[in-house]
Amino acid sequence: MVMLPQVEHELHKRRRSRNLGLLVVLLAFVALVFGLSIAKITSGDMMEGYDHQPRASILPKDPNPPARTAPVAAPGTPAAEAMSQQPGASQ
Amino acid sequence: MTDINAYQGPAEAGFGDYVALLKPRVMSLVVFTAFVGLWIAPVPMNPFVAFCSILFIALGGGASGALNMWYDADIDAVMKRTAGRPVPSGLVPKGDALALGIALSGLSVMMLGLAANWFAAGFLAFTIFFYAVVYTIWLKRSTPQNIVIGGAAGAFPPMIGWACATGGIGIESLLMFALIFFWTPPHFWALALFMNNDYTNAGVPMLPVTHGRKVTRRHIFGYTLVLTPFAIWLGFTSVGGGVYLAVSAVLNALFIAGGWQILRRSDEQSRADNHKVEKRYFRLSLYYLFLHFLALLVQHWVGAW
């Protein structure tokens, strides 16, 4: 095989600068979008929009929420049995 | 060194040539004024979201710069000041400038909408349209008032910054607009008074070319007088205060004095000392705008009214 001398023209240098520049710009853009996502999610903005399907999570907050009651396990499940074995259990 | 070229191939642009398409020096002004508008607004923003918003506003400004260089390549080639730009010097093809301008416009507007809000994004889209289409394509070559109307494009960034934080417009942001809007004509006409030949050769209807230099001097002084009340008024709004008013009073007194000197001079006097007063006034105008916005920042820091 004949080895050709590697001659780097100035043109190749410019082309490389363009490619490296684009690489840096794209990486920076990825980092930016990631950072924006983190900033938006942690700042607690309302991230859910209305998608034509009513659901509890987009209802306005109840100013007088009902008092919390103890969780009730479905009958026949291990959790229900565990609760029934506790002293003072209603089931 | 021997360098033999059989033929002159197309020049290859480096990364920096594409950056130059975005007019980095204009961008720095956009970044600064947009930042001030965003920062002094009464609604606090997450610092990273604020940083991204400024970045996308700057990118939008850069996009309109690229569109301007695409459309103006023919006159840029004639003017000494702009002949070295990437498109007229043959480094970047015209189509590339157009593609970059359109792509970055879309990207910057979408990203600003996602980062801040859609009112600010719409405002940015309008600004790009205003600079690229209304100013560059339509008015720049057709009326000597081109500078006045084009100045509006440069005056929008602080309003966009304010809109990023508040989602709307306020008297403060309108007055920041007025400050840049009425500052632009005297600034550029002073430049035109000592760079006249460039614009004459390119056939751009600048006021000194179409209406003569005496009229231009009158216009410079007139706009200086119009500018002053708006600059002072800003000091009496919610973003103003003692620091801003003091700085503004000094700068406006200097600016009016400079405008008065320009008005009283004849062209013979001007040529005799190589446009000394005009050049000084031009330099003062740069400080005028920078220090006004810096004063707003300082005022916000020490506490406004």
Q: Is the pLDDT of residue B233 over 50?
A: yes
Number of other residues whose CB lies within 10 A of the CB of residue A2? 3
What's the rounded Cα separation, in Å, for the pair B210 and B204? 9
B7 lies in some domain = no
B251: Cα within 13 Å, side-chain hemisphere: 26
pLDDT at A87: 62
Is the model more confident about B248 or about B213?
B248
Chain A residues whose CB is inside 8 A of the B52 CB are 32, 35-36
pLDDT at B2: 53
Chain B residues whose CB is inside 8 A of the A18 CB are 13-15, 18
B1 lies in some domain = no
Domain boundary among B169, B185, B202: B169
Distance (Å) from the alpha carbon of A56 to chain B's nearest alpha carbon: 26
Q: Which of A18, A40, A43 sits opposite B14 (nearest CB)?
A: A18
Q: Letter for the amino acid at B124?
A: L
pLDDT at A88: 56
Domain boundary among B142, B169, B196: B169
What's the rounded Cα separation, in Å, for the pair B296 and B226? 20
Is the model more confident about B9 or about B53?
B53
What's the rounded Cα separation, in Å, for the pair B157 and B36? 10
B9 lies in some domain = no
What's the rounded Cα separation, in Å, for the pair B129 and A75? 66
B59 lies in some domain = yes
Disruptive mutation site among A20, A36, A40 for chain B (greatest number of B CBs within 10 Å)? A36
B3 lies in some domain = no
Q: Which of A18, A32, A43 sits opposite B15 (nearest CB)?
A: A18
Q: Which two tokens stand for residue B58?
A: 């700057």
Chain A residues whose CB is inside 8 A of the B19 CB are 21
pLDDT at B20: 94
CATH code of the domain in which B150 resides: 1.10.357.140
pLDDT at B209: 83
pLDDT at A47: 60
> For the residues B155-176, what does the mean pLDDT come to?
96
> For the residues B217-240, what does the mean pLDDT come to?
96
pLDDT at B201: 81
pLDDT at B8: 54
CB contact under 8 A, A14 and B13: yes
What's the rounded Cα separation, in Å, for the pair B245 and B8? 59
Distance (Å) from the alpha carbon of B12 to chain A's nearest alpha carbon: 6
Among B283, B280, B287, B275, CA closest to B193: B275
SS3 B190: helix
Task: Say yes or no: B78 and B109 in one domain.
Answer: yes
B114 interfacial to chain A (CB closer than 8 Å): yes
Distance (Å) from the alpha carbon of B46 to chain A's nearest alpha carbon: 7
Counting the structural domains of chain B, the total is 2
Task: Say yes or no: B154 and B256 in one domain.
Answer: no
CB contact under 8 A, B16 and A20: no
Position B4 confidence tier, pLDDT thresholds 50, 70, 90: low
Q: Which of A13, A18, A35 sits opposite B48 (nearest CB)?
A: A35
pLDDT tens for each residue of B58-94: 999 999 999 999 999 999 998 888 888 999 998 999 9
Chain B residues whose CB is inside 8 A of the A41 CB are none
Q: Which of A17, A20, A39 sits opposite B46 (nearest CB)?
A: A39
Domain boundary among B169, B202, B224: B169
Contact predicate B232/B252, CB 8 Å: yes
B132 lies in some domain = yes
Q: Where are the alpha helices (DSSP H) in chain B?
A: 15-20, 24-39, 47-71, 73-78, 94-115, 118-129, 146-166, 171-194, 196-202, 207-210, 213-234, 242-264, 267-272, 276-302
Is the model more confident about B5 or about B162?
B162
Task: Say yes or no: B174 and B195 in one domain.
Answer: yes
pLDDT at B219: 94
Put simply, the chain B residues between 45 and 74 with a CB less than 8 A from any chain A CB are: 46, 48-49, 52, 55
- The values of phi and psi at residue B238, to 5°, are -70, -15
B45 lies in some domain = yes
Mean pLDDT across chain B? 92
What's the rounded Cα separation, in Å, for the pair A88 and B31? 68
Chain A residues whose CB is inside 8 A of the B16 CB are 17, 21
> Which residues does B39 contact at the CB level (< 8 Å), separation at least 6?
B50, B161, B297, B300
pLDDT tens for each residue of B26-50: 899 999 999 999 999 999 999 999 9
Distance (Å) from the alpha carbon of A40 to chain B's nearest alpha carbon: 8
Task: Say yes or no: B186 and B289 in one domain.
Answer: yes
CB contact under 8 A, B49 and A40: yes
B12 lies in some domain = no
CB contact under 8 A, B14 and A36: no
Chain B residues whose CB is inside 8 A of the A20 CB are 15
Is the model more confident about B199 or about B77?
B77
CB contact under 8 A, A36 and B115: yes
What's the rounded Cα separation, in Å, for the pair B159 and B155? 8
Task: Say yes or no: B176 and B295 in one domain.
Answer: yes
Task: Say yes or no: B131 and B221 in one domain.
Answer: no
- What is the residue extent of each domain of chain A? 10-43
pLDDT at A45: 60
Sign of CA dihedral B292, B298, B299, B301: positive
Number of other residues whose CB lies within 10 A of the CB of residue A63? 5
Q: Is the pLDDT of residue B106 over 70?
A: yes
Q: Which of A4-13, B264-273, B287-296 has the lowest mean pLDDT?
A: A4-13
CB contact under 8 A, B12 and A14: yes
Chain B residues whose CB is inside 8 A of the A36 CB are 48-49, 52, 114-115
> For the residues B148-165, what does the mean pLDDT come to?
94
Instruction: Please give the residue range of the domain that contains residue B220.
Output: 170-305
> For the residues B232-257, what does the mean pLDDT come to?
96
Position B1 confidence tier, pLDDT thresholds 50, 70, 90: very low
> For the residues B222-235, what does the mean pLDDT come to?
97
pLDDT in tens, chain A (91 residues): 677 777 778 888 888 889 999 999 999 999 999 999 999 888 876 666 667 877 777 777 778 877 777 777 788 888 888 877 766 544 4
Number of other residues whose CB lies within 10 A of the CB of residue B98? 16
Put simply, the chain A residues between 35 and 74 with a CB less than 8 A from any chain B CB are: 35-36, 39-40, 43
Sign of CA dihedral B100, B102, B105, B110: negative
pLDDT at A91: 45
Q: Letter for the amino acid at B253?
A: A
